[in-house]
Amino acid sequence: MQTDYELILTPDNIPVLSKQNAATFHQQAKERIMEHGGAFEYVEVIKFFAALDKQISGDKTSKIEPDNEFLDYLREEIKRQGNGGDKAEYKTERGVKFTLAEVGTVYDFSKCNDPKYLDLLLAVEGAKTELKLYQDFLKTVPTKGLEVRRGDELITIYPPSKSSKSSFKVSLPK
């Protein structure tokens, strides 16, 4: 199962760290794994580096806070080793570019003291709660349907369709 995927290397024979090389590397690794095994080890390493990324950048789902001390250090290094300023940029020997950027602007509306905003917020929260309760009810509707009256009209409602996707989970030890 040989393909024409070829890694792009630097003059020092180090893979260029690019999106294309990541795709090529994966294709080559996949082909080798399909022929010789090693799938678990490959995914273990990938999941380890994904966990490292969460340790640096944070992850709301896992309730991991960003490492702000390290992130601040990186920003200072980009300024120091890059071209300076608010939009400083630093490029590594492997071509990876680090650029200072403002990301994730957040607005705090709690300080607006606007009664209309608060009314709308309460209405939205009430509608979300009501929708969740109604969705829970719809899950209990029998598959043959349930007749309900809407004004002068009698309609048949049905439960939501349900599907799932088969995959696998990987858990690193603590």
pLDDT at 93: 79
Q: Are residues 41 and 84 in the same domain?
A: no
Q: Are residues 38 and 6 in the same domain?
A: yes
Residue 93 within any structural domain of the chain: yes
| pLDDT band at residue 2 under the 50/70/90 scheme | very low
Q: What is the mean pLDDT of residues 100-108?
A: 89
Cα distances from 93 to residues 49, 72, 96, in angstroms, run 21, 22, 7
pLDDT at 95: 80
Residue 163 within any structural domain of the chain: no
Res 169 pLDDT > 60: yes
Domain that holds residue 47: 1-59
Residue 140 within any structural domain of the chain: yes
* Overall number of domains in the chain: 3
pLDDT tens profile 105-160: 899 999 999 999 999 999 999 999 999 999 999 999 999 999 999 999 999 999 99
Write down which residue in 79, 106, 133 finishes a domain.
Answer: 106
Residue 124 within any structural domain of the chain: yes
Q: Are residues 39 and 72 in the same domain?
A: no
Give the Cα separation of 23 and 39 in Å (integer): 16
